[in-house]
Amino acid sequence: MKRLIPATLSFAYLLAFPVVGSAQDCSSWTDFDLRGTYTMSGSGFIDMSKLLPGMGLPSGMIPMTWVGAQTYDGHGKGTGWVSFNAGGNHMNAQLDQTYAVQPDCSVKASFSMRVKELGVTVGPFPRMMVIVWKPGALELHMILGDASPSKAPGVGLDLGVAYRISMQGAE
C-alpha cells in the first residue's frame, strides 16, 4: 500500500501536467517580435577559400567556433559583432543582417561580415533560424548552410543559438 500511493500521485501529476506541450504558434508573430539584443554562440565547419575567395587559401572544411552579439531592430534588420576561430585563426567581424519571421516559427535571414583583420566584407550568407519561446525567454536556434543534395557545398555549415538578453537598443 505504501508504494501504491506515490505511484498513484505520480500518475495523477502526469495527467494534470502533461510533459509534452502543444506546438508553438507563431502565425501572428512579426519581425517586431524579435526586436532586442541577443548573445549568441555556435560551432561548425567552414571553407576559408570560399569565405575569402582570391586570397590563395587552401580549400576544404576546417573546424570553427564563434561567439557574438546581435541587435534586431524589429523592422527586419540587425547589426552586431562576432569573434570566431577557424582552424586556429582568430578573427573579428561586424555583422549586418536582414531577417523575416515566417508563420511556421522559422526566420529567414541573411548576413554579411566585415572582417576587421582583413578589411574585407564577405557575404551575404543565408541563415535559417527557429523561434523557441519559453516563459520569460526568447531563443533563436540557428543553422548556416547554403548547400543541398543537388548543389555543391557552400562556405560551411554551423549550428548556433542566440538568447535575447535585452529589449533595450531596439526600436
Q: What is the pLDDT of residues 66-118, one digit of tens each?
A: 999 999 999 999 999 999 999 898 999 999 999 999 999 999 999 999 999 98
Percent of the chain with pLDDT over 90: 52
Residue 167 has pLDDT above 90, yes or no: no
Please name the amino acid found at residue 92: N
Question: pLDDT tens for residues 33-59?
Answer: 999 999 999 999 999 888 888 888 889
CA 151 – CA 146 distance, rounded (Å): 9
Q: What percent of the chain has pLDDT over 70?
A: 79
One-character DSSP codes across 124-146: EEEEEEEEEEETTEEEEEEEEE-
Q: Residue 7: which pLDDT band, with cuts at 50, 70 and 90?
A: very low
| pTM listed for this prediction | 0.78
Between CA 100 and CA 109 the distance in angstroms is 6
**Are residues 60 and 47 in contact, defined by beta-carbon separation less than 8 angstroms?**
yes
All structural domains of the chain with their residue ranges: 24-166
Find out if CATH 2.40.128 is the number for domain 24-166: yes
